[in-house]
Amino acid sequence: MSEKFVVRGSGPISGSVYVPGAKNSVLKLMAATLLTDGTFELTNVPDIVDVTIMGELLAELGVEMLRPAPGQLLLTDTGDINPVAPYELVEKIRASINVLGPLLTRCGEVRLSMPGGDDFGARPIDMHVSGLEAMGAEFKFSHGYLEARCERLHGADITFDFPSVGATENLMTAAVFATGRTTIDNCAREPEITDLCNFLVAMGANISGIGTSTLVIEGVERDELHPISHHTVPDRIQAATYLAAAAVSNGELDVLGIRPDDMTMLLDRFADMGLQMSPVEMAGHTGLHVAAPDRLRSIDVATLPYPGIATDYKPLIITMLSVADGVGIVTENLYPGRFRYVEELQRLGADVSTTGHHAVIRGVPRLSGAEVKAHDIRAGAAMVVAGLAAEGETIISGVHHIDRGYDDLVGRLSAVGASIERIPG
């Protein structure tokens, strides 16, 4: 059944909000459990639809998922891994591509439907394929499926043209029990990649250079790996969403469970916009206290791979700039087509124009509520934040996108005084 969110701009929000683990980490950790048998435990797992879909995909491949308690997953190899990832599941989430590396290195063959996920322009996988070819895999593409085969993979020296998140993850998991040494130069180094590296090392993998742009993986034997328990890194994009909600409503929030060190560049820019932030410790969690007493100031921002400003923050930043004082320019360097939600912001009265990779945002004092669509996860969350900055009622359709990546956004925002409800669509 389709559903909608109704948001009413009703003044400053205040209180505290706990941010759970990162979608873009947990889905990769789940895929990496395919490397070995036994039972893995993941904690700080967000309650989001993409986790359910990844669980269904793993079940199809031969790994059973249980959720014994909120935030906890148990993943157990059923002893019969079937390396065929079908279209119905793969087309729903981009992270399904992450099963390629573990399945290939474990089974020596994979049939994977081409991955789906958020629709923001072409998202090729050439770097995944050429990196695995350098390690000894052979690929063929037929009838919408990517088919890969190999004897045992071998180490290789790989240099990326661009630090792709997914390709870094696939190659480093594939290299865990390849023979010899694999070096991945100009790799991505997002906090979620560091989380996956730490997970693999705890399992028995030999990885150095963690957190840098050169990863070195010395292959180990499969029987040197063992299942582990792991706490998922906090979600910096959900964290930014609550900071943005506080900012546009001139509110005051304690955003807990997060790691500000993973978001340094964004927090610097938020400070430039006038957000007042200080470390806080509460109920056993660390985080940030944020206050936005005054109207935000405009800034210019360019998205870049980590440690730059993530492209996933961009819809939130553009929404904040829509109500800031002055003119801001946002430049997208990762996905040229990722401005679809701008039309929706315009329906709310935002003054935004786009050309090529750039958006020019002239701040207005207040947006005005209207019916809008969530085109993808992050754009959907930005519509919610925009609704908090709008006069009257904002009705958001397509909220199934938001549910893919946000753990109870409605409940969390309601608890800090926002007027937001979920209604049948």
Which residues participate in catalysis according to the annotation?
A: 118
Q: Which helix (H) or strand (E) holds 238?
A: helix 236-248
Our CB check for ligand UD1 shows the closer of 233 and 418 to be 233
Based on the shown chain and the rule CB under 6 A, indicate whether residue 167 belongs to the binding site for ligand UD1.
yes
Q: Can you tell me which of 4, 92, 106, 128 binds ligand UD1, judged by CB under 6 A?
A: 128
Our CB check for ligand UD1 shows the closer of 262 and 312 to be 312
Based on the shown chain and the rule CB under 6 A, indicate whether residue 138 belongs to the binding site for ligand UD1.
no
Cβ atoms of residues 319 and 382 within 8 Å: yes
Our CB check for ligand UD1 shows the closer of 164 and 198 to be 164
Peptide bond into 68 cis (omega under 30): no
Label each residue of 334-359 as H, E or C: CCCCCCCCHHHHHHCCCEEEEECCEE
Strands 145-149 and 138-142: antiparallel
Residues touching ligand UD1, count (CB under 6 A): 21
Determine phi and psi for 126, rounding to 5 degrees.
-60, -35
Tokens 């992450």 label which residue?
Answer: 98
Point out which residues pair with 354 in neighbouring strands.
Answer: 359
- As measured in angstroms, the least distance from the Cβ of 192 to ligand UD1 is 7
Strands 301-302 and 327-331: parallel
Q: Can you tell me which of 9, 166, 219, 363 binds ligand UD1, judged by CB under 6 A?
A: 166
Based on the shown chain and the rule CB under 6 A, indicate whether residue 404 belongs to the binding site for ligand UD1.
no
Which residue from 312, 351, 348 is spatially nearest to 332, judged by alpha carbons? 312
- What does the alpha-carbon distance between residue 38 and residue 53 come to, in Å, rounded to a whole number? 21
Q: Which of residues 175-214 bind ligand UD1 (CB under 6 A)?
A: 188
Show the site string, 241-280: x = touches ligand UD1 by CB under 6 A, - = not. Answer: ----------------------------------------
Which residue from 305, 236, 297, 240 is spatially nearest to 271, judged by alpha carbons? 297
Show the site string, 45-84: x = touches ligand UD1 by CB under 6 A, - = not. Answer: ----------------------------------------
What would the two tokens of residue 21 be? 């683990």
Closest residue to ligand UD1 in the complex (CB): 166
Our CB check for ligand UD1 shows the closer of 52 and 179 to be 52
Based on the shown chain and the rule CB under 6 A, indicate whether residue 24 belongs to the binding site for ligand UD1.
yes
Based on the shown chain and the rule CB under 6 A, indicate whether residue 124 belongs to the binding site for ligand UD1.
yes
Our CB check for ligand UD1 shows the closer of 40 and 160 to be 160
Based on the shown chain and the rule CB under 6 A, indicate whether residue 356 belongs to the binding site for ligand UD1.
no
Using only C-alpha atoms, the chain has a radius of gyration, in whole angstroms, of 21
Q: Residue 99 carries which DSSP code?
A: G
CA quadruple 153, 159, 164, 169: dihedral, nearest 10: 30
- As measured in angstroms, the least distance from the Cβ of 344 to ligand UD1 is 19
The piece of 4-12, 34-42, 126-134, 386-394 that touches ligand UD1 (CB under 6 A) is 126-134
Cβ atoms of residues 382 and 311 within 8 Å: no
- What does the alpha-carbon distance between residue 125 and residue 65 come to, in Å, rounded to a whole number? 27
Based on the shown chain and the rule CB under 6 A, indicate whether residue 101 belongs to the binding site for ligand UD1.
no
Our CB check for ligand UD1 shows the closer of 194 and 311 to be 311
Q: Angle 385-388-389 (CA atoms, 0-180°, nearest 5)?
A: 95
Q: Can you tell me which of 16, 44, 113, 164 binds ligand UD1, judged by CB under 6 A?
A: 164
- As measured in angstroms, the least distance from the Cβ of 68 to ligand UD1 is 25
- What does the alpha-carbon distance between residue 186 and residue 213 come to, in Å, rounded to a whole number? 5
Show the site string, 297-336: x = touches ligand UD1 by CB under 6 A, - = not. Answer: -------------xxx---------------------xx-
Our CB check for ligand UD1 shows the closer of 51 and 420 to be 51
Q: Which helix (H) or strand (E) holds 66?
A: strand 63-66
- As measured in angstroms, the least distance from the Cβ of 312 to ligand UD1 is 5
Residues forming the site for ligand UD1 (CB under 6 A): 24, 94-95, 122-128, 162, 164-167, 188, 310-312, 334-335
